[in-house]
Structure 1
Amino acid sequence: MSESFLELVKARRSYYALSNKTPIPAEKITQIVSDSLKYVPSSFNSQSSRVVLLFGKEHEALWDLVLEVLKPVAPPEQYPRTIEKVNACFKSGFGTVLFFEDNAAVIDMQEKFPLYQDRFPTWAQHTSGMLQYIVWLAFEKEGLGASLQHYNPLIDEKFRDNYKLPVTWQLVAQMPFGAPAAEPGEKTFLDMDERFKVFGH
């Protein structure tokens, strides 16, 4: 079992060329994301992570919003390339998962456990990272390509307003996904002797 899990870990890649097709139904994608959110570990069982899942026109509208927000801040000579990248790599997909952490839940834990109050924001980010990875691996297993993007905090306020989300929901990352439209680029690795040490064996 561990071997098959690690093979999945090795296979997971960032796919930047996505199509709006999917090898599994939207209902199964929804269940994957829901189960991932429900069962991800969190410090003191705080369950501070929140998720928004977008399909179809709602997914496309997110990436239109990204371009709208980027236009006034991107260098004019670079903006055409930004449009091309967003449309070809993210909007072209089947959907997007947006990962949030609820600051209200974090503050609640800080008040309940004041001894650890300075750690809860960091622990919430650990939970979010695990959640993102669980979803990513599950997508890989089902033949979905994905990448992880960070257009927050530029889009946070407008996105929350559009969907009437609580102001305490802090956007952490966006994961566009869909059927891979091209192979990912080559992945290189640093020397493991510089990154990994074993003692006592």
Structure 2
Amino acid sequence: MSKTLRQAIEERRSYYAISDEEIVSKEKVEEVVQFAVKYSPYAFNSQSGRVVILFNEHHKALWDLTKEHLRPLVKEEDFHKTEARVDGFKAGYGTVLFFEDTEVVKNLGEQMPLYEDKFPTWSEQASGILQYVVWTTLETEGLGASLQHYNPLIDDDVKERFDLPKHWRLCAQMPFGKPVEAPGEKTFQSLDERIKVFK
């Protein structure tokens, strides 16, 4: 599917109703993520972003794990709403997990003490850019996605389940799949209130 960058940016939305129908190969998804990880910018070229792609039973296990962490936190009479939302993510084709390598961030601070307090912020910014590049590029492939934040609730179990380094800090989860419902209408504030131009 060929789209211009502007089209992809405009059409990228949060899709909550997704299916596991394979409209794009797993290899293509992997290629999209590899491209994003390689070319997304990082402060001082730190390349601190880490990504895990989950398909099949691994993808489903993530959302089952998430649901079990949420169960004791939500009133029993309200849990069906939470369960339906999480099962919607589980119904997708896969999930991208975004991490930041805290060892990289810490080492940069030690090497450049003048900026030490800034590196965690720059790490978050870089992760946000990486998430956006993956999300927008998945859009160009016809996949719908959304960005979820069940961390730090699930962090330890995710690292244990997928045998990941302890110094990887989970930032976000991105379930994706074939869109089965259009996203809701998006409203915009006046750009005059958000942008100032001095000529």
> The TM-score by the shorter chain falls in which range?
over 0.9
Structure 2 distance, partners of 1:4, 1:28, is 18
Where in structure 2 are there 5+ consecutive unaligned residues? none
Structure 1 distance, partners of 2:141, 2:127, is 21
Structure 2 distance, partners of 1:75, 1:153, is 20
- Map of 1:22-37 to 2, 5 A cutoff? 22-37=22-37
Alignment pair present for 1:142 and 2:144: no
Question: C-alpha displacement at 1:99, in angstroms?
Answer: 0.2
**Which runs of 4 or more aligned residues in structure 1 lie more than 2 Å from their structure 2 counterparts after TM superposition?**
none
* Contact 1:16-1:146 at 8 Å conserved across structures: yes
TM-score, normalised by the number of residues in structure 1:
0.95
Structure 2 distance, partners of 1:4, 1:93, is 25
- Map of 1:2-13 to 2, 5 A cutoff? 4-13=4-13
Where 1:77 maps in the other structure, the secondary structure is helix
CA-to-partner distance for each residue in 1:4-53, whole Å, 9 max, x for gaps?
A: 32222111111010010132110010111112111111011111110010
Structure 1 distance, partners of 2:29, 2:131, is 14
TM-score, normalised by the number of residues in structure 2:
0.96
Query: CA RMSD of the aligned region, Å?
Result: 1.1
Where in structure 1 are there 5+ consecutive unaligned residues? none
Matched residue count: 197
The aligned counterpart of 1:119 is 118
The aligned counterpart of 2:74 is 74
Where 2:76 maps in the other structure, the secondary structure is coil
The aligned counterpart of 1:106 is 105
Amino acid at match of 1:118: D
* Contact 1:22-1:144 at 8 Å conserved across structures: no
The aligned counterpart of 2:184 is 185
Amino acid at match of 2:19: S
Structure 1 distance, partners of 2:8, 2:95, is 21
